[in-house]
Amino acid sequence: QKEVEQDPGPLSVPEGAIVSLNCTYSNSAFQYFMWYRQYSRKGPELLMYTYSSGNKEDGRFTAQVDKSSKYISLFIRDSQPSDSATYLCAMTSSTGFQKLVFGTGTRLLVSP
Amino acid sequence: DAGVIQSPRHEVTEMGQEVTLRCKPISGHDYLFWYRQTMMQGLELLVYFNNKAVMDDSGMPKDRFSAKMPNASFSTLKIQPSEPRDSAVYFCASSRLVNEQFFGPGTRLTVL
């Protein structure tokens, strides 16, 4: 079983919908949680970064961490066709500070 | 800044041949990472460097893979001999002492 599990999708939504992307993990030592966005044939780019539990908001994006359930989420409000991409969660412990463990990614398709 | 630069962007080779992938990190970044991405396994860390020294290569098949960083602005990942199962997209990423890795555009490797 993988340390980080993520539904591969694809997740298809109409423009303007609220999108919820999720990851579960098994390693309770994970403290830092990130979401990367990857467009087709491009490298991943960092979207959101949170430490420990709680919420963080940046524009249309909200990252949520529930350490008690070992569950993290990324919400996208007012989704746009330009949000169509693969979203990867990533996480690390404080000891392996730079060694990220990635989910396999969820492909999101936002139709106009 | 030009970002992380990788070459070649595409490589097609035959089984048994040597393959060398190249990476130029962002100037001033102390960490350099090599990842492999496949549909089945997602993004896997192969090796990472801190100030040119290997910090962790536990994800790298050492019988055929080798990674070097001869100076702060250049790294190579070599596969010898290559096998069809090595077909994947290889990403290089760099970062400073924060949890934000900047990825290059990747090298798409096909081993026939």
Chain A contacts of B100, Cβ < 8 Å?
46, 49
pLDDT per position as a tens digit, B78-91: 999 999 999 999 99
Contact criterion met (CB < 8 Å) for A46 and B43: no
> How far is it, in rounded angstroms, from Cα A61 to Cα B15?
44
The C-alpha atoms of residue A103 and residue A51 are separated, in whole angstroms, by 17
Per-residue pLDDT, B1: 64
- Take residue B7 and report the two structure tokens written for it: 């070459």
Residues of B in contact with A44 (CB under 8 A): 43, 91, 103
In angstroms, the separation between the Cα of residue A32 and the nearest Cα of chain B is: 8
| Chain B residues touching residue A46 (CB < 8 angstroms) | 100-102
Inform me whether the pLDDT recorded for B98 exceeds 60: no
Residues 14-33 of B with CB under 8 A from A: 31, 33
Confidence band (pLDDT; 50, 70, 90) for A18? Answer: very high
State how beta strands A11-14 and A106-111 pair. Answer: parallel
Concatenated DSSP letters for B8-74?
-SEEEE-TT--EEEEEEPPTT--EEEEEEEETTTEEEEEEEEETTEEEE-TTS-TTTEEEEEEETTE
State mean pLDDT over B27-48: 93
pLDDT at position A53, please?
A: 82
Q: CB B43 to CB A42 under 8 A?
A: no
How distant is the Cα of A65 from the closest Cα of chain B, in angstroms?
17
Q: Does the pLDDT value for residue A40 go beyond 80?
A: yes
Give pLDDT, residue B28: 93
Over residues B20-48, the mean pLDDT reads 94
Tokens at A22, concatenated: 């999720």
* Higher pLDDT among residues B15 and A98, named by residue: B15
